Amino acid sequence: MPLLTLADRGLYCEPGDFYVDPWEPVDRAVITHAHGDHATWGSRAYLTSEPGESVLRARMEPGASIRGLPYGETISVNGVTVSLHPAGHILGSAQIRLVHRGEVWVVSGDYKTDPDPTCTPFEPVRCHTFITESTFGLPIYRWPPQSEIFAEINGWWRANAAAGKTSMLYGYTLGKAQRLIAGLDPAIGPILTHGAVERMTAIYRSAGILLPATSYAGTAERRAETKRAIVIAPPHASGSSWTRRFGSQSTAFASGWMLVRGARRRRALDRGFALSDHVDWPSLLAAIDATGAEEVWVTHGFTGPVVRWLRERGLDAREVQTRFEGERDDEAADEAGPLGSGTAEQEVYS
Ligand SMILES: [Zn+2]
């Protein structure tokens, strides 16, 4: 019997009787990270990494039962040994390692191997079966060095500030926004934030992540302070009435999709910065290789090309149809999922 199977509500571990990132409410959910397509509302109990507990709590329904487990620590769930290991995607993101009768499986969730000052670096975990994302699993996706991207972002901001324009930089509320803030040069001007970004950034700070000072941009009094400012806002704020208060502005979106020019044109943006929280093609293949896995399940993104490439290398690879979305070039993936109405007062993982 395989350690995980694809069931109606998500990836199910039958011997342990729990799900990994279920898309519908279940009794026991192990969560790789707090993005909406991996953390769905309504389950009775959630297990996540200890560094990810506060961000997951902020995204879940009030009163949700959430237990945080430190990276690398093991617990036994009905005889299946479960541990969580850094995935380098956002704060608290984890790969889930499952061991049962000598078989080792790892579910990656979303991950990247590039350094990121806002979360613990990705850690390769050896396993027999590896379940991977492939959001950017095509050879055309190769990220430029981050230092180049941040130099471009700061250069764009500096030029806008000199021209008297506000810089509107869009990126996902959880993860991308904080990584952007971490890379900004505060000497250029004030860093202002959309309310949703400010709330999440405060949680990052309480978790000990060091970030330049930011101010909430929502209040009218701040209008006088927007000169030379950069505003970090979620993609759904783009083009909304909220943005008009900032007067003359230049707009940009930070996303891996910005590597492809059409994506920026479709959103009518002035600039696009190819900064992604997912592995690019070479890093994806290197990460899979480092697991030593003989069997690989590919869950979301460009699954077909990745499966073909792995099979040509002699691996037992297959595409598995999940509801994970990875990084979308619109706002939907940024939202939490209030799909269920379960009461979550019971601590099933204690
Ligand atoms: Zn994600």
Block means of pLDDT (10 residues each) for the chain, length 350 residues?
94 98 97 95 97 96 96 98 98 98 97 97 98 94 96 98 95 97 97 95 97 84 72 91 89 92 76 96 97 96 94 95 76 40 31
* Contact present, 37 and 330 (Cβ < 8 Å): no
In the reported structure, the alpha carbon of residue 110 is separated from the centroid of ligand 1 by a whole-number distance in angstroms of 5
Q: How far is the CA of 293 from the centre of ligand 1 (A)?
A: 23
As residues whose CB is below 5 A from the ion ligand 1, the structure lists: 35, 110
Confidence (pLDDT) at 333? 44
- Cα of 116 vs centre of ligand 1, distance in Å, is 14
| Closest by Cα among 117, 113, 107, 119 to 38 | 107
Number of other CB atoms surrounding residue 185 within 10 Å:
16
Q: What is the 3-state secondary structure (H, E, C) of 116-130?
A: CCCCCCCCCCCCCEE
In angstroms, the CA 164 to CA 18 distance is 55
Distance 33 CA to ligand 1 centre (A): 7
What distance in angstroms lies between residue 89's CA and the mean position of ligand 1's atoms? 7
State the distance from the centre of ligand 1 to the C-alpha of 227, rounded, in angstroms: 33
Rounded to an integer, what distance in angstroms lies between the CA atom of residue 116 and that of residue 199?
Answer: 20
pLDDT for position 224: 59
Residue with the two structure tokens 């972002």:
153
Ligand 1 centroid – CA 90 distance (Å): 7
The pLDDT of residue 345: 26
8 Å CB contact between 234 and 86: no
At residue 223, the pLDDT reads: 59
What pLDDT score does 222 carry?
55
Q: Give backbone dihedrals phi and psi of 7, rounded to 5 degrees, phi first.
A: -110, 175
Check residue 335 and give its pLDDT.
42
Q: How far is the CA of 226 from the centre of ligand 1 (A)?
A: 31
Q: What's the CA-to-centroid distance between 133 and ligand 1, angstroms? A: 10
Q: Exposed, middle or buried: residue 15 (CB in 10 Å: 0-12, 13-18, 19+)? A: middle
Q: Which residues pair with 337 in a beta bridge?
A: 40
Ligand 1 centre to CA of 252 (Å) is: 21
State residue 114's pLDDT score: 96
What is the residue type of 228? Answer: R
Report how far ligand 1's centroid is from the alpha carbon of 269 (Å).
23
279 neighbors 136 (Cβ within 8 angstroms)? yes
Cβ atoms of 305 and 284 within 8 Å: the answer is no
Give the pLDDT confidence score for residue 340 in this predicted structure.
30
Q: Please report the pLDDT score of residue 244 as a whole number.
A: 86
